[in-house]
Structures are given as structure tokens and as C-alpha cells.
Structure 1
Amino acid sequence: MATSTRLYGEWAETYDEDFVARSGYVVYRRVVDALLQHREQINGPVFDIGCGTGIVGAVLRDNGVEIVDGIDISQPMLGEAKKKQTVRGDAVFRHLVAADLTQRVDIPDNRYAGLISAGTFTHGHLGPEPLDEIWRVANIGAWCAIGVRTTHYLAAGFGEKLAVDVREGTISEPNLIEVHMYSPGVGDEEHADDKVFIVVCQVLR
């Protein structure tokens, strides 16, 4: 984790251009699309988990989500997110929090009507352990769209963790949407076929 935090800190100022644009990284838009399918039922703020430079939050705001807060472990990434503006020129984020999701974060229970994560689990930085903390800050009925790289999902035990949470009544049965991480024919051929499961569910308690 310390190595990846340092890497993203060094990369923050050029991340959008160096990685997002040049690699054809599009999965974040697919994750946003998955959450927006339930836009009419999200009556409150959305929490962008592992918000990075704010590319997810910007798309959410430009598609009608009025309030977005973000959390990330990298302060330089959050510095870039703070600069992000909507097409109307407003700040994308209401609040930004620097925190480690493997620890309890200083956010009250039942705060968010929507949860989204397009990078934290997509790149394999964290296993399923932070999911309890993520569910904690969600309202009952909150919709969630969380991207997890397919290989990481299988290897790290996400399916087993989600099954436990369903049995315990914490979340609804998740819908897994499989998508490509990158646009075809763009970027590194080695990762051209990388795929992601978008976990879509509701928090029930």
C-alpha cells in the first residue's frame, strides 16, 4: 500500500493525461453508468471511494448528481480532485477526505445515498475487507456500483465476502456486470483484455 500511495502521489499532476487518456482507460465511465441506472432512487449525496483526481466525480456531477464527496489515501491526488470543476464551473466535490479505508474513517453512519468506486478495487489495491466500512457510511437503500478487476475479485475472495453480506441482510444480491477496463486498440496490448466486474447492489441495513 505504501508503494502504491507514493506512486500515485508522484503521478497525481499528470494522471489524467498519462494514464486515463493514453491508455484508453474507460471502466470508470462504465461504473458511473451502472450507478446512474438508479439515479432516480438516489436522493442524497454520493460517496466516491478512492476518488483519485476526481474523474468519476466530474462525470457524476455533469450527469445530474448534485452532491459528491470523495475519499482517497493520496493527498496529492486529492489536491488534483479539489481543482476539478463541472461544466458549469462549480467545484465537483463538496468534501474531500484523506484516509486509509483499511481503518475506520471519520464519517458518520448512514450518510450517503450512493456509493461508487472505480479504482480502489479495480487496480487491486485493496481486498474486500473495507467493504464493511463502506456499507457503514451508506444510508439504508443506498445504491452502490463498485468496480473490481475480475482476476482480483476471484483471487481475493470478493464473492465469498459479498455472499456473507447477502446472507446477513447487509446488502441485496449483487448484480455483476462484466466490462473491459480499456478501450479496444488503445494503450498497452498486454492489458487489452483486462476485465472488471461492476458490483451493483443496495445497502439494506
Structure 2
Amino acid sequence: MSDDPDLERAYALQTPEDSVALYAAWADSYDHGFAIANGYVLHLEVARHYALMGGFGPVLDVGAGTGLCGAAIADRGIRPVDGTDISPEMLEQARAKGEYRHLFTANILEGIPLRDGLYQGAVSSGTFTSGHVGAEGIDAVLSAVRPGGWIVLSVNTQHYVTAGFAAKMADLAPRIDALSETEVAIYADHATGPHARDTALLLAFRKA
């Protein structure tokens, strides 16, 4: 089996340390070697949905990676955008895009090292799923957002129940409102390969 970074290795991640190692190796080639080559469009769906919900800045991009979602948010005129990710190498790629006000490295499972309620909203594309960040990471995102602020997170549809996301959203009911679940494609129609027809649920909700 090749040690080159790819989607199968990403799906097989088990620990934060696994993520750090994989994305350090993948950072330079991620945009062209994965996102463009595979017709990845989930970040565009997340940005569109955040705008549709009436979300505005300042907004935190959680699991920002190379900045695809943050750039899509900024393209819709929603600013300022800050971003956080466990991989400093990925964030260097994001920084080069010039769309973020502030970028910082953090493990979302250990919390966000900023004061609570700093952001009017938050987005996340491709981070909340099996092997990356589990449902327990949603608490830190919620803490970062002001009351009334919109949050739009993508969760891989096949993991929504089995990885505990459905149960987590039920538990959060007293702390959120206006929850909706919208199924979208992760890849464009022309995509091929074993995951080409995978979908994600966009979880959109407001902090109560």
C-alpha cells in the first residue's frame, strides 16, 4: 500500500496525531491533487448554505485546511474570516490565499484557545466525520459563537448516526434552535471513483 496521502488514508484516520502526520504530507498537493482532481465541492455547498441562512462575519472556519471553505465564504462577501486547523502546514496554504484575517493551529477536541462568543458564526467543511473530529467537537464550535449566531457544519451522511452526531444534536436541543439537515453532494457530477457519490448533511443551527 502506498504511503502517499490520499482519500482512503484520510478516511482511515484514528487519532489527532494521525491527522497531523497525514495533512503535513498532503498540504502542498491538496488543492490540485485532491480537490480539483476529484471535483470536490463540499466547501462551496457549506459557504452557499451559510450565506443562505443569513450568516455574516466575523466567522470562524473550523478545520480550515488549505482555506477552500474560507475562500468560498469570502467570495460571497462575508468577512472577516478566521480559521483554525490541527495542521500548521495546511494553514500555511490557507494563508497564501490571502482571505483570512487570522489563522491559528488548534485541536478542536481540546477547545478553541480564544474567548467564548468571539464570532458571529462558524462553518466547517469535511472536518466532522469518522476519523477526523467526532460529535464531541461541536461543543467547542458552539462556545466560539455568540447567541443568535449561525453555525453550518458538514457531516458525512454515512457516519451521521453511527458516529454519534444524531444523538449529539438531540442533546444540544436546549442550547440551539432552527436546526435543519440538508443533504448535498461532496463531489461534482463528473467525479469518478469509489466515493464519487458520497453525500454530506449540512447541519445548520443557531446558538440559543
After TM superposition, the score normalised by the length of structure 1 is 0.90
Which residue pairs with 1:174 in the alignment?
A: 179
Deviates more, 1:125-134 or 1:70-79: 125-134
2:197 and 2:129 map into 1 onto residues whose CA distance is 14
Shift in CA distance, 124/31, structure 1 to aligned 2, threshold 3 Å: farther
Q: Does 1:65 align with 2:78?
A: yes
Asked whether the equivalents of residues 46 and 124 of structure 2 are also in contact (C-alpha less than 8 Å), the reply is yes
Shift in CA distance, 11/123, structure 1 to aligned 2, threshold 3 Å: farther
**Deviations 1:18-66 (Å, cap 9, x if unpaired)?**
1100111111111111101133x53x30000000000111111111112
Please tell me the root mean square deviation across aligned C-alpha atoms, in Å: 1.3
Deviates more, 1:145-154 or 1:178-187: 178-187
Structure 1 unaligned runs (5+)?
A: 85-90
User: Which one-letter code corresponds to 1:186 in the other structure?
Assistant: A
**Deviations 1:45-94 (Å, cap 9, x if unpaired)?**
0000000000111111111112000000001001111100xxxxxx2111
Which residue pairs with 1:36 in the alignment?
A: 51
Give the one of 103, 117, 120 matched to 1:113.
120
Q: Tell me which protein shows more strand as a share of its residues.
A: 2
The count of aligned residue pairs is 193
> Aligned residues: percent identity?
36
Which residue pairs with 1:163 in the alignment?
A: 170
Asked whether the equivalents of residues 124 and 149 of structure 1 are also in contact (C-alpha less than 8 Å), the reply is no
Which residue pairs with 1:80 in the alignment?
A: 93
Give the one of 93, 99, 103 matched to 1:92.
99
Q: Does 1:56 align with 2:69?
A: yes
After TM superposition, the score normalised by the length of structure 2 is 0.89
Task: Give the ranges of 4+ consecutive aligned residues of structure 1 lying more than 2 Å apart after TM superposition.
Answer: none
Structure 2 unaligned runs (5+)?
A: 1-14
User: Which one-letter code corresponds to 1:163 in the other structure?
Assistant: A
**Deviations 1:106-149 (Å, cap 9, x if unpaired)?**
11011111110002115641110011111001000111110000
